[in-house]
Amino acid sequence: MIELAFPWALLLLPAPWLVARFAPPWREQAPALRFPFFHRVTSAAGVEPKAGSVIRARLRFQMAAAIIVWVLLVLALSWPERVGEPIELDKAARDLVLAVDISGSMDQRDFETADGTRIQRLQGVKDVVGRFIDKREGDRVSLIVFGSQAFMQAPFTEDLQTVRDLLDQTEVGMAGPHTVIGDAIGLAIRAFESSEIDKRLLVLLSDGQDTGSKMTPVNAAEVAASKGVQIFTIGVGDPDGEGENRVDPASLEDIATRAGGEFFFADDQEGLAAIYERIDELTPRDVETLTWRPRQPLAHWLLGLAALIALAATGWLEWQTGRRAVA
């Protein structure tokens, strides 16, 4: 399909006719000699005297070429375009940060699989979170890991396979043995500040309690809520543990409540998978679909054709003039 970007330019088509019809004729004055015996000279030369004004005759070929060139120029000015079939592009309408605790306590082998086998906590978490990432088609996902410090493992990206690979490469203790939940939330807030997407979700998983963040988790959650970040928290591990190895459900629930999310607890891999499925239901995939049509401009073809016709007409007229001069 061909469309005109500036169809109003077609109003210029009758412009030459209007000028020829209503504009005053163009006159040119030329110097002349006056002879008192003019009639004797013309009679002797055998020439019949005519009016002083001369109107140059235009050939039909010349007029046709001029009309065609003008039409082509006006059509080029209207900017015709060949419009292709519509193309749909899915654009992420939500940014998601996954914050995963990799402190020393995540090395405990007390996480049960569906068949009752006990595996390392972090390995069980990576299996479940990895499957959750695979379902995030349409979201921009970022990965944060934290222990004694919080680190941005993967910035926001739609390359889900890369995020999962980076998650699989994490090991217990890579970020230190302790747990800084507040700093992890703070790092997520800074990541969201570079985002232009309004819908922002943080899913934070931890098996311990905060042990020295620069900002308390509760204050960090309030800051996140003020910036439109919704937080879901997941507790894993042993609520009856001692010291840093004891998960703090009350604190995680308080964080989620202040940031408009929910708190969940899981003590095995099956329960954790159910939690992520529930989060998926509460925050379904949100995609903005953009539709556009490829456009190929055609004006240069019209301009080229007009130039060829003008050159051909000019060459033909010059050739005809040369023939008459020789004759």
Location of structure tokens 């330019």: 9
DSSP state of 268: B
Place of tokens 């490829």: 294
Q: Please choose, from the candidates 117, 41, 104, the residue with its C-alpha nearest in 3D space to the C-alpha of residue 243.
A: 104
Note the pLDDT of residue 89.
62
Exposure on the CB side of residue 173, measured as CA atoms within 13 A: 3
Distance CA 256, CA 239 (A): 18
Q: Which residues contact 231 (CB under 8 A, 6 or more apart)?
A: 185, 201, 202, 203, 204, 221, 224, 225, 255, 256, 258, 259, 260, 261
Q: In the sheet that 2-4 helps form, which strands lie side by side, from edge to edge?
A: 2-4, 80-83, 295-297
Sign of the alpha-carbon torsion through 85, 137, 168, 166: positive
Query: 80: helix, coil or strand?
Result: strand
Q: Name the helix (H) or strand (E) containing 281.
A: helix 269-282
Give the residues across from 95 on adjacent strands. 140, 200
Q: How far apart are CA 317 and CA 303, in angstroms?
A: 21
DSSP state, residue 35? -
**Partners of 235 in the β-ladder:** 206, 265
- Provide the pLDDT for residue 99: 94
What is the token pair recorded at 119?
């595996």
259 is written with which tokens? Answer: 């940031």
Cross-strand bridge partners of residue 304: none
Beta bridge partners of 266: 236
The CA distance from 3 to 6, in Å, is 9
For the chain, 327 residues long, give each residue's pLDDT as a single digit of tens.
888 889 999 999 999 888 888 888 777 777 777 767 777 777 777 777 766 555 556 678 888 888 999 999 999 999 999 888 877 666 666 788 999 999 888 888 878 887 878 888 889 899 999 988 888 877 889 999 999 999 999 999 889 999 999 999 999 888 888 889 999 999 999 999 888 777 889 999 998 788 878 889 999 999 999 999 999 999 987 777 666 667 788 899 999 999 999 999 888 888 888 988 888 787 766 666 667 788 889 999 999 999 999 999 888 888 877 776 555
- Provide CB contacts within 8 A for 133, sequence distance 6+: 98, 141, 160, 163, 164, 167
Return the structure tokens found at 229: 């970040």
